[in-house]
Structure 1
């Protein structure tokens, strides 16, 4: 009911809604309305109450609560079940637990702060309070195990499209899981499986996005290689808007992917790829390679052509694009 009340107030921003209007639409008492208004105020919403006029919302916080996200969603499934926390060790940990408990596909875990998040190779991921998007989405695709890495690339495409729609910025993808703006990292994606020998039980996709960090708030060790959407646009971005946009783009691509396969995702990914056609250095567990990035296979594997014109298939690696 509180979410419905918030949606009513947001849809009539700047206007008063009488207690009677709200009561009739929500089928509740005036006392219940007042209690929900008090809860919204505790969450940081400024709601004005005027005798004989009713209520109107004056401002809302940049929050990543279930209420703030839900009223913006334009999806059928993704994000319709939200677990929202102020502070967690890792949204991935919570998502893994929920997945084991057989939660619905499309369940979203989002936190205002992470204290123990990790990226690829177990590297620490800074997730400060109130400044970024730290979330995990649970998928249950009926696809062969070897196709799971394609979902990382699908997610990258969806995030790039969502960033452009919300901010106007043109981001690029660095294989396999980084999104950059002007050559600096702004998003990391971590895909983890719960699987048996022959089938996928769930795919948990973690997305960490630097949204409203200032230059001074970026840790010294990454300041030269990382950025945020606020730094790039010069203005604060409402995080719930961006989460809703990512969910919409992901759901659209995911439906198409399940129906038609990876081909369209592959073409979109290559159109956003930062390294395509460029000389890159690749570090894998079996050694280093250098050559030109030629594209990706239908399975999402990176193709590298070395100086002897030999094509290497790169399944997992860190890549570096040498400065010219």
Structure 2
């Protein structure tokens, strides 16, 4: 009932307890109890005698039809479906389950899943992905590749570039990329990519791609994040006020990116990616497990590997338990 209540109050106007009760088919007392649960979801409310309840400024809820209306004409033929949920454990897990249960050869290619909140969202290396209700973008989708794991080298980089390009189109300024899977603004994390694969290492493989972008998360909601972060709302409040447009733009770019990536690989995106490379020609520390390697970041290879200048020589690193950070 709580999510139906939020939808009623999402317009920011006052609604009487009696009217809300009629719409929900419950008593005024039940409405009052449901309203008390809103702060636990990060939603503050006003309660005024004679007027009822409201959520000040409303809630920008995800809407399937609105999102699909924002898909570009070029992307629509590649799109195979979208489901939007109030709450999920993990959008990646739901898409992975759909892929496993698919009886089609395409493995749900082009199918998207969104949630207003995740209770078990995760990022790279199993880290928790903080996922407050109706504040950010938690998006996952499926794609099938026919030429095995070698065909997806550099995929996380291409996906990150697609998301960055979509945000550029929505007038979100200053988005840069960090190898291998982060979106940054002024060095602060704006979003991230998670790639998970199943299937044949040499033949057909299904990839589940997760995308998380901070849209209007508050400082209190993000206090458990262990690195500097930023939300779109601090960069362009107008863009942050319409998540449906943001999601539609991101989905369009991802569909077009994956379609081209499948035929041309990451080499087609390398130059564009390096134009947004936050660490290009900067001193960095590369952590492999617990072993630090210091050098100068010299961009990326055509297969998406990091090029690091160490003691005057260029070395390439890719995949695995690797993280990149600014040299202290």
The TM-score bracket by the shorter chain reads 0.7 to 0.9
Deviation per CA, 1:19-57, whole angstroms, max 9, x where unpaired?
A: xxxxxxxxxxxxxxxxxxxxxx859579xxxxxxxxxxx
Structure 1 position 302, deviation (Å): 0.8
CA distance in 2, matches of 1:177, 1:239: 22
Return the offset for 1:124: 0.7
CA distance in 1, matches of 2:289, 2:224: 28
Among 154, 157, 163, which residue is 1:153 paired with?
157
Q: 1:121 to 1:83 in 2, by over 3 A?
A: same
Match of 1:229 among 221, 227, 232: 232
- Work out whether residues 95 and 109 of structure 1, in 8 Å CA contact, stay in contact via their aligned partners in 2: yes
Q: CA deviation at 1:73?
A: 1.6
Give me the whole-angstrom Cα distance separating, in 2, the residues matched to 1:77 and 1:133.
23
Distance 1:192 1:221, change over 3 A: closer
**Aligned pairs for 1:251-262 within 5 A:** 251-262=255-266
What's the C-alpha RMSD, in Å, of the aligned pairs?
2.6
Structure 2 Cα separation of the partners of residues 231 and 217 of structure 1: 15
The aligned residue for residue 119 of structure 1 is: 123
d(CA) in 2 for partners of 1:67 and 1:185?
Answer: 30
Deviation at 1:261, TM superposition (A): 3.3
Once the two structures are TM-superposed, the CA of residue 138 in structure 1 deviates from its matched residue by: 0.4
- State the distance in 2 between where 1:155 and 1:146 align: 16
Structure 2: runs of 5 or more not aligned: 1-6, 13-56
Q: Closer, same or farther in 2 for the Cα pair 1:273/1:131, shift >3 Å?
A: same
Shift of 1:304: 1.0
Conservation of the 8 A alpha-carbon contact between 1:161 and 1:249 = yes
Query: 1:250: how far off?
Result: 1.7
**Residue deviations 1:224-281 (CA, integer Å, cap 9, x gap):** 6011000222453311111111111122222222333322211111111111111110
Aligned to 1:16: none
Q: Give the equivalent residue in structure 1 for 2:70.
A: 72
How far apart, CA to CA, are the structure 2 residues paired with 1:69 and 1:80?
14
Give secondary structure in 1 for the equivalent of 2:235. Answer: helix
The answer (yes or no) to whether the contact 1:253–1:265 under 8 Å persists in 2 is: no
> In the alignment, which residue of structure 2 is the partner of 1:3?
none
TM-score normalised by L of structure 2: 0.76
Displacement, 1:136?
A: 0.3
Residue ranges of structure 1 left out of the alignment (5+ in a row): 1-40, 47-58
Report if aligned partners of 1:85, 1:112 keep a CA contact under 8 Å in 2: yes
Secondary structure at the counterpart of residue 268 of structure 1: helix
On the 8 A contact 2:151/2:262 being kept in 1, the answer is no
Q: How does 1:163-242 map to 2 (within 5 A)?
A: 163-222=167-226, 225-235=228-238, 236-242=240-246
8 Å CA contact 2:165–2:253 kept in 1: the answer is yes
* Per-residue deviation, residues 142-188 of structure 1 (Å, max 9, x unmatched): 23312324221111011111111113312000000010011100101
Q: For residues 206 and 8 of structure 2, what CA distance do their matches in structure 1 show?
A: 36
Q: CA deviation at 1:287?
A: 2.3
Q: Is this contact kept in 2: 1:303–1:314, CA < 8 A?
A: no
Structure-2 residue corresponding to 1:266 = 270
Say whether the 8 Å CA contact 2:145–2:206 is kept in structure 1. Answer: yes
Q: Kindly report which structure 2 residues correspond to 1:307-318, keeping only aligned pairs within 5 A, or say none.
A: 307-309=311-313, 311-316=315-320, 317-318=322-323
What is the aligned residue count? 273
